[in-house]
Structure 1
């Protein structure tokens, strides 16, 4: 049978699981919000660990917190940052919109861990010399500036450590294919219809450029690190905190994480609105859209193998059908497309959470937990899907050169290079007649003696059509 202990917060007594490191405020929040049964993302909990350690260090430097307590808080907070106590953070995503419940969850867990290190037991917050969750762990802070600051820390950390490296891997893999396949010519397509030739290397060079721009966009999203709310406390005025507190916290965070964090230029703006997150997620949405272009093109170019384009051979990763033996599907491409659906939906969530009258109300945004949950999910999905796309598809992707040549020979748009010689209208007639007769442009031109064979071969050389004429 579950064992409990009795603790108190400002609203009275609460029953807390006996082995829990959190206290009454957290237990009350767990009781109040049985909604998704999904806790705040672990990245946010780790960010709170980093933040509380930085706050304790800043308060020690400012002479606000004694060294003994500061050391204990920092050691406890570092354990939280390392993910050693994730199970102690049960508060639902759909909680108070300022994230107060999660901030208090962090305060209580860190205080109890610190008290254990100081030789006190769990729940010793009122004992002389012990660490108090509000008075010491939360010193100079408010949920209104700590939760959004943790949002910035979590987002910046995963963008830097996960998203950017995987996008860079994708860019490199696509660029390598572009170089390797630069001499292979295929037919181009516009409006889903045959167009003039293009080199496979040019096509993949375009994909590589999209991936490179995705890296740029991810770095733009990383600018979130420059607008930290810490130091604003309740409404952005900095009540109950030291004027140098925010700068010292940012310095400590920068040293901890190797990311240059900066205090918000205007605290009322930073706490009242979340425009920076709306803008940053717009970059993530654009990255998702870019990846769909690459993934969808590749799955269409690999369609077949006998009854469609099949200019590319996609690696077989799993059986494609439970009823059709031997069928292989572009499953990796499909997973990327589904990720984009989710990220685009998350963009609507982030945008709505930032709306005035919904999330942003007077001096505070009150839809932050759902905003950061959607934001972090987008980063995770984009980073992971980009990595899988490289490892499971791009690395082993192959070009079917014979099929590329076959489709070029059959294309009616090869006539385009003859237009400067015979005129647009005659070239159009040649294309229509070749289609009616089921022959190629080259053969029809030979039959009608449009040009001498040597000149015709030169005019219809597909490689030359892909290179600018001097």
Structure 2
């Protein structure tokens, strides 16, 4: 026989179930864990935080409007504060792949808060007459307006605390390296072939600008996340909500987050369209694509040490081979590419999920929530460690850079305006065949004087970026 002391009985519309007395979730969460043993992935902490902040704001407002008693309102608020501070984090247990729209996770949150509020009020878990997950914690709410709001809040939290700080440090590190390496001339390369000389510092400055541009795009895209459809209830009509609830709850959330949030002008639109999430995800994919390019460039420029370019040295952070002693691989750059590929995959899944809504609701929101917030966080974490363990400690191989720059046949490009494109092409061909220098062949052919060549084949001058001038 089962020892009833270790269990409580809960009831929902489908019947009664025994639930362990130790857990704070309830019968609907239990059913979800049984229905969805899919991935073992649990909700991201940031997503849980977003849901808790929504529940705190709604409890405050519903208490102010006398929709729930002050006692219940205060107990729910205290419960959310405790969990936001780190308690009961193991009670959010529903798999990422779950019931459509996120009802299972939503009820997991409602049940945990209700049971903790009951304890705060001196009652027992599961005695929902005093604090009910649906009637009190969820008053005036629906999965259908809470979850799209939680995705917005979760995305904003992840951007604010993870991605944007990481981007700012990466940009600063790249700009610092741009200054450090500004006097180093190297061979440029286009089509993986020799090209005209460039400055190593300008390479890093270009990467800093690329990341700056992406950060600005992400800021622009994330503006859509500030517009909340909370208050729409089940279908965007606001059924079962107080007339003042819609605007007041967004005001309270704005205060809690210190963000300029605003109510959606059309609640049905905010509920149905996943476009804000697709927009942000697309900006993340765009960033990921350029991060892959940068990480591949770092690997190429560090390739060798004897049989590759080896223009720079990435800091070794771990042994690179189980069989080849003394080998160090560009592991931070390799990891970066892998994460970026994952983000691109998440973006594709988000796009598919976003177009899969029907009528008043998109039921694919759990997938969108996980993929979007996870993309932001793994990109931010990746950029942070790439900066700290790679970019900040890159060194330059000055001699190797100069040797490539001086030996490049692409230097002949500087001769175009002096001897013509066809003559320059013939000089390049002869140099490749004979091994003679460009300078020697031009002098032998009498195409230019030595003084003229000295001025034209000047690596410092050739690698300097032409300044931008505006009309006076």
Fold-level similarity (TM above 0.5): yes
> What's the counterpart of residue 364 of structure 2?
367
Equivalent position SS for 1:70: helix
SS of alignment partner, residue 187 of structure 2: strand
Corresponding residue number in structure 1 for 2:213: 213
Distance 1:149 1:420 in 2: 61
SS at match of 1:205: helix
Q: By how many angstroms is 1:449 displaced?
A: 4.5
CA–CA distance in 2 between the matches of 1:249 and 1:84? 25
Task: Say which SS state the counterpart of residue 364 (structure 1) adopts.
Answer: coil
- Provide the secondary structure at the position in 2 that maps to 1:361: coil
Residue aligning to 1:226? 226
Match of 1:459 in 2: 456
Whole-Å Cα distance in 2 between the matches of residues 101 and 33 of structure 1?
10
Structure 2 counterpart of 1:6, from 5, 9, 15: 9
8 Å CA contact retained: 2:222, 2:276: no
Per-residue CA shift, 1:63-109, capped at 9, x if unaligned? 22221111111011122333321211111111111111111111111
> 1:322 matched to which residue of 2?
322
- Please give the alpha-carbon distance, in whole angstroms, between the structure 2 residues aligned to 1:47 and 1:14: 29
- Write out per-residue CA displacement over residues 279-331 of structure 1, whole angstroms, 9 at most, x where no aligned residue: 11001101111211211111111111121211111111111111111111111
How many Å separate the matches in 1 of 2:336 and 2:70?
Answer: 50
Structure 1 length-normalised TM: 0.96
Asked whether the equivalents of residues 98 and 144 of structure 1 are also in contact (C-alpha less than 8 Å), the reply is yes
Partner of 1:67: 70
**Residue in structure 2 matching 1:38, options 41, 44, 62:** 41
Q: Shift of residue 447 of structure 1?
A: 4.3
Structure 1 residue runs of 5 or longer lacking an equivalent are none
Match of 1:438 among 413, 435, 439: 435
RMSD: 1.6
**Equivalent residues in 2 for 1:185-264 (5 A)?**
185-264=185-264
Q: Any idea what the Cα deviations from partners look like across 1:342-377, whole Å, max 9, x if unmatched? A: 00000011111101xx2x110001001111111111
Structure 2: gaps spanning 5 or more residues: none
Q: Report SS of the residue matched to 1:248.
A: helix
The structure-2 alpha-carbon separation of the partners of 1:318 and 1:462, relative to structure 1 and needing over 3 Å to count, comes to same
Counterpart position of 1:285: 285
**1:466 Cα offset (Å):** 2.5
Deviation at 1:227, TM superposition (A): 2.4
CA drift of 1:221 comes to 3.6
Using the TM superposition, give the Cα deviation of residue 446 of structure 1 relative to its aligned residue in structure 2, in angstroms: 4.0
Question: For residues 83 and 151 of structure 1, do their structure 2 counterparts lie closer, same or farther at Cα, with a shift above 3 Å needed?
Answer: farther
Secondary structure at 1:99's aligned position in 2? helix
* Number of aligned positions between the proteins: 464
Deviation string 1:9-65 (CA, Å, 9 cap, x unpaired) is 122111212201111111111111111122222211111111101001111222222
Using the TM superposition, give the Cα deviation of residue 224 of structure 1 relative to its aligned residue in structure 2, in angstroms.
3.8
Cα distance in 2 for residues equivalent to 1:10 and 1:43: 31
For residues 311 and 140 of structure 1, what CA distance do their matches in structure 2 show? 62
CA distance in structure 2 between the aligned counterparts of 1:323 and 1:114, rounded to whole angstroms: 58
Separation in structure 1 between the aligned mates of residue 439 and residue 176 of structure 2, nearest angstrom: 34
Q: Is the 8 A contact 2:292 2:337 kept in 1?
A: yes
Q: What is the TM-score normalised by the length of structure 2?
A: 0.95
Q: Residues 9 and 126 of structure 2 are in contact (CA less than 8 Å); yes or no, is this contact kept in structure 1?
A: no
Task: State the distance in 1 between where 2:83 and 2:265 align.
Answer: 29
CA distance in 2 between partners of 1:440 and 1:337 (Å):
40
Residue 152 of structure 1 corresponds to which residue in structure 2? 152
1:124 maps to what in 2?
Answer: 127
DSSP-derived class of the 2:151 partner: helix
Which range moves more in the overlay, 297-306 or 214-223? 214-223
Aligned equivalents of 1:409, 1:69: Cα separation in 2:
77
Once the two structures are superposed, the pairs formed by residues 265-284 of structure 1 within 5 Å of their partners are 265-284=265-284
On the 8 A contact 1:140/1:241 being kept in 2, the answer is yes
SS of match in other structure, 2:16: strand
Could you tell me whether the CA contact under 8 Å between 2:416 and 2:424 is conserved in 1?
A: yes
- The residue aligned with 1:176 is 176
Whole-angstrom distance in 2 between the partners of 1:254 and 1:343: 29
Q: Go from structure 1 to structure 2 and tell me whether the alpha carbon gap of 1:273 and 1:62 turns closer, same or farther (over 3 Å shift).
A: same
Contact 1:56 1:73 in 2 (8 A): yes
Q: Does the CA-based 8 Å contact 1:45-1:80 persist in structure 2?
A: no
Which has the higher mean CA deviation after the structures are superposed, 423-432 or 315-324? Answer: 315-324
Paired with 1:24 and 1:332, the residues of 2 have a C-alpha distance of 45
Q: Is the 8 A contact 1:415 1:431 kept in 2?
A: yes
Partner of 1:108: 111
Task: Report the Cα distance in structure 2 between the residues aligned to 1:177 and 1:289, rounded to whole angstroms.
Answer: 22
The CA distance in 1 between the partners of 2:330 and 2:340, in whole Å, is 16
* SS in structure 2 of the partner of residue 315 of structure 1: coil
Q: Which residue of 2 aligns with 1:27?
A: 30
Q: Distance in 1 between matches of 2:18 and 2:284?
A: 42
User: How far apart, in 1, do the equivalents of 2:451 and 2:318 lie?
Assistant: 49
**Cα offset for 1:182?**
1.4
Contact 2:314-2:330 at 8 Å conserved across structures: yes
Find the aligned partners of 1:270 and 1:424 in 2 and give their Cα distance. 60
- Matched with 2:386 is 389
